[in-house]
Every structure is written in C-alpha cells, then in structure tokens.
Structure 1
Amino acid sequence: MTASAPDLVTMGESMGLFFAPLGMPLVSGPAFHLSFGGAESNVAIGLARLGHDALWVGRLGDDEIGRYIERELRAEGVRTRGLTGPTHTGMMVRAQRGFGRSSVQYARLGSAGAQLAVEDLPLDEIRSARILHLTGITAALGEGPHRALVAAAHAAHDAGVLVSLDLNYRATLWSAEEAGPALRELTELSHLVFATADEAQVLLGDAHDGGDDAAYARRIAALGPAEVVVKRGADGALSLVDGEVFEQNVTAVVERDPVGAGDAFAAGYLHGVLVDSAPQIRLDFAGRVAAHSVTLPGDWEGLPRLADLDVGGPDILR
C-alpha cells in the first residue's frame, strides 16, 4: 500500500539531549533529564501536534539513544524512515548559566545524522508533499547532507512543492564565508525563508542594513522567495508576502525556556500556510505558538496543540 502524501517533509539531525529539569548549573551536579532535539524534528512535532501529517528524514545510530528518539517521534505522530547508522547518535548537554542564559555542549562529530545522503531521500514523498522544510543546520553538517538538501530542494521546486528554508546559521558549524553561498543556493530554490537580521547578513554577505528588517526581507525576496519572515526573538517578527510588509502582534508571556522558540514559530507559521490563512493571521499565530513553547522546559515539549491555544478565529483552524 502506498503511503499517503505528507503535509510536510523535513530532514536533518536529531540528537539525544541531557538537561537539568530545574535549570541548575553543571557544577552543582544535578540529576539529568533525557530528551532529544533537532530543529527539523522539532518542527515536525510542532506540525503533528497542530493536526498535520509530518515526515522526518534523518539518520540515527543503532543504539539506545537512536531507538529512543525514533520511538518518541512516532509517539508524537511523526512519520520516520527508519534510517540507522553507520555510526552513533549525536548527543548534547544543556546547562543553565546566570542571567537566564544557557550553554550547550555537543558530541556530534562523525554522528549518524551527519551521514545523510542523496540516496536517503524519499523522492516520491517530497514530490507529493505540500511543504518541504529545510534548515541551514543540515547544510552545515558536511558535503553529504548539503548535497541531499540541494537535491531535495530541486525535486520539490520542480514538482511545484512549496520549499521552506530556515537559515538557522550556526557559527560553530561553519563560517559565514562558507555558509553564505550555500544558503543563497537554497534560498533561490525556496518560496518561504525564515531569518534573523544576523542570518540575513550571512546570507547577503554584508555587515548591516541600517537595522531595517523590512529592507533585509526585500533583499532576500529579490533572490527568489515570495515570502520572507525576519524573526526578532521576544520582539516578534515581520513578514514580507508578495511585496507587502506585516508586523506581528506580540504575545507577552513569562519565559521559562527559550530554546526551540524559533522552531515553534516556524511550525506555527507553516500551519498557517497549510490552512491558507491570511498573512497577518499566520504571523500572529506563529508568535502565539512560539510564546506557548517558551513557557515550558525542553526543545519541543512546550509545543502546543490547537486546543492549548486561544486562536480566536476560524481561519487558522480549518
């Protein structure tokens, strides 16, 4: 039997995550909680909780952490491809620091997630999906994952599938000089791009744009995307849709854990795209999803279901 066409296909690395539930620093010797995280799997869980069919593609080690991650993804309603090996599942440890900051230490060198290859791509599902969501993190993992992302973007673009790209630049993985051309290639194949002002600078190859986020959005749109979202953290976001600028109405909350907020925002925004809501509605809804996520600890645990949100209108619920 042929699987149904997914609403979303995404691909990347998901890693085991150890963190202290009470936010204690490492030097205090806290008991650790086991979870997992990864930008793409976070978005897939977010869309699944909002009622969509999501497929996550990535390699996990044939080990206890890898089996745990795959089991949890499936429990959240996310489809996986069951790709394992040839090496271990990557891991990360998150520790709390003063002034609400946190630090993350990674053990990902040579991990299974970095072995993703063109041959792993589910091309039938990509070509039949409604959205292909990619991030710059996967492109930074090595030549194999980068080539896989480009091939997936081409397949989706050629099939008329909406390609969504979150630049998600990580300076610890590659330099701005390496990232810029790779991200521009993916941007040119994308319909929708998420970026911060700093990431826009990496993409565009310059130092600043006078602090004008709308100008950044227009310059990114000039590369091809019809829709650009510039994220501003707690200050909300703006979107440029077919040349028109929209400003998010910020949802104020007491922040407990900001990690994963950008992925939550992307999931909320893509939900709005999937239900064909108006640009202002999907921008505000994305902000509400992100706001909900930061009130609970964990990379994805705070992602809401529709019943958790006072969405206030039928457009976003269809």
Structure 2
Amino acid sequence: MSGLLTFGETMGLVTADGIGALDRVRGFRLGIGGAESNVALGVARLGLPATWIGRVGRDATGDLIERRLRADGVEAVVIRDPSFTGLMVKHRRTGALLHVDYHRAGSAGSRLMPADIPVGAVRAAAIVHVTGITPALSDSARAAVFQAVETARAAGVPVSVDVNFRAKLWSPYDAGPVLRDLVSRADLVFAGPGEAALIVDGPPLQGLAALGPTEVIVKDGARGCTALIDGERHTVPARDVVVVDPVGAGDAFAAGYLADRLSGAAPAARLATAIAAGAFAVTVPGDCESLPTREDLIAATTDVTR
C-alpha cells in the first residue's frame, strides 16, 4: 500500500428517528461509525487508497462493518475477536441537543493490540493516521497507537493525529498528558479549540506547533478553520449549510485534507477540500453516509445544499 493507514474501533450505530425522549421513538436506523474508519471511507471516496485495521466481534454487526468498508473501497483488515462489536446509540432529545451513548467497555475493538498492526504496513504507508480515541479504550489499544507511531517515525512516514477527545471515555486530567505526548510525535495534527486547550496553553496554533507538528489545523465548526502549515498561516471560512447531524463532520474534514495531501495538492487546496467535505457530512444523518466523492465536490462550486 502507498496511501492512508489507520486503525481503531468501528461500532454499530443505532440512530433514533425523530426528536424526543428515546423511549418515545418508534423508528431506528442501523449503520456504522468510528472516527478512524470514517476517515478511511472519506479518503477512499475521494479516490485515494485507504486501509483500516481493527477488531470486530463474530456477530452480525461485525459482518456489517466489514461489508460496508469494503463496499466503499477501503482495504479493511478485519480481525475477528471473541468479544462483541461495540455499539453507539444516537438520539436527539431536542432539536438542538444530540446525545451519543457508547456500549463499548470490553468490546472487540477495545482489545486492539500492537501485534494487530503489521510493521510492514506501517512502513509502506504514505500517511499513518491515528486519533485520541483509541488510546482511551484500553492499555493494549494505547500501546498499539504509540508503537505504530514510533514505527512510522523511524521509517520516515508522516504521522497524522486527530485529537478527538471523548469525555465519556476519559477525563481531561487523564487525557491531557497522553494526548500531548501523542501530538509531540506527529507531523500533522487536527484539533478543536477546546481539545487544543487540553494540551497547550495560549493560542492553539502556535502552542501545538511548538510541540513539533509542521501542519497544525484547528477545526472550529461554523467558524471554519485556521491552520499553520510549514510556517504559513491560513484561515478558511465554513460553508453556509443547514446542519442536520454534526457527528462525523470532523472526520470528513480530516479525510478531505488527507486525501488532497496524498494527491500532492497545495495547502490552500487541502483546506478548501476539507471544509467542503465537512459541510457535506453535516447535511444528512449518520457518521459516514454523506462523505463526498470528487464528483460531489466538483458539483458544489458555491455551496452545499440538499
């Protein structure tokens, strides 16, 4: 392989139809979701090679994950585990309040270990992408992340880190030092302003860059993004869209940026693609259902509507 390599936990995603208390909902949809697999799917849909490695259970949800990833062109290295495939349940209590609950403690995905990530695959990748979610899952998953990152660094393979802090997985106190250590080993980092504040004091771009990454991208939702890439500052506004489901927008953004980086695009073009991909993602429900193709992005010359 010569494209993106990523790994982590992908889960079944149960989404309640409609708005209101979960016990009042009468319809549900089943999909898949996971930060790393979302990025792999986004990169693949944009025409670049992407590999995802992860553990799933010997169950129907694990089957669904494997089929969905491969159907969209992701090279899925699926390790079947005796434990169950994790699950997310997503519902809107009100039009403005979205809940995501996890059922993943002891799941197959949390049992990821260093031996699951082949050294040869890491060395052959063009970019290794990891998130701050996987180190929160278990000691073995955290070891897998850091071992892969160190293998990539030794081989001269760029390392991309999306901070992706999840408060339901660990506390800011526990997460801060681990995430700081991870970012200090990266060439490229994505973070929201609040996530950056867990790691550094002061302005996020300069603080994160001081840790070592030469490409720092701060995602700020409806305010767009700012970036410091090879010493040059960039500011890109967000697209004006109707937000239906914000979950997965950051993954779509990262996928757009990384796909253009893999194809050799200039920093400004990478950021423009990232913003457009993130805008697509928020316009329909689901973690990965609306990740765009190149044709989608070409068609959306001024804005993104559905």
Same fold (TM over 0.5): yes
Q: Which residue in 2 is equivalent to 1:265?
A: 253
Q: Is the 8 A contact 1:250 1:284 kept in 2?
A: no
Q: 1:167 aligns with which of 163, 168, 179?
A: 163
Q: 2:287 aligns with which of 299, 302, 306?
A: 299
Distance 1:109 1:68 in 2: 20
Q: 1:94 aligns with which of 87, 90, 93?
A: 90
Task: Check 1:6–1:123 CA distance in 2 against 1; reply closer, same or farther (3 A cut).
Answer: same
SS of 1:57 mapped into structure 2: strand
Give the structure-2-normalised TM-score: 0.95
Residue 61 in structure 1 maps to residue 57 in structure 2: yes
Q: Is the 8 A contact 1:249 1:284 kept in 2?
A: no
Q: Which residue in 2 is equivalent to 1:225?
A: 213
Q: Is the 8 A contact 2:221 2:238 kept in 1?
A: no
Larger strand share, 1 or 2: 2
Instruction: Give how far 1:22 is off.
Output: 4.1
SS of 2:67 mapped into structure 1: helix
SS of 1:20 mapped into structure 2: strand
Q: Which residue in 2 is equivalent to 1:41?
A: 37
Matches within 5 A, 1:120-159: 120-159=116-155
Task: Check 1:311–1:244 CA distance in 2 against 1; reply closer, same or farther (3 A cut).
Answer: farther
Q: 1:31 aligns with which of 27, 33, 38?
A: 27
Distance 1:177 1:257 in 2: 29
Matched letter for residue 29 of structure 1 = V
Identity %: 47
Distance 2:70 2:178 in 1: 31
Matched letter for residue 62 of structure 2 = G
SS of 1:82 mapped into structure 2: strand
CA-to-aligned-CA distance 1:260-314 (integer Å, 9 cap, x gap): 000000000111211222212211210011001111111000100000113799x
Q: Which residue in 2 is equivalent to 1:252?
A: 240
Q: Which residue in 2 is equivalent to 1:316?
A: none
Instruction: Give how far 1:68 is off.
Output: 1.1
Distance 2:212 2:299 in 1: 31
Q: 2:226 aligns with which of 238, 247, 256?
A: 238
Structure 1 unmatched runs, 5+? 210-214, 314-318
Distance 1:246 1:53 in 2: 27
Q: Is the 8 A contact 1:21 1:297 kept in 2?
A: no
Q: Cα RMSD between the aligned structures?
A: 1.5
Instruction: Give how far 1:23 is off.
Output: 4.8
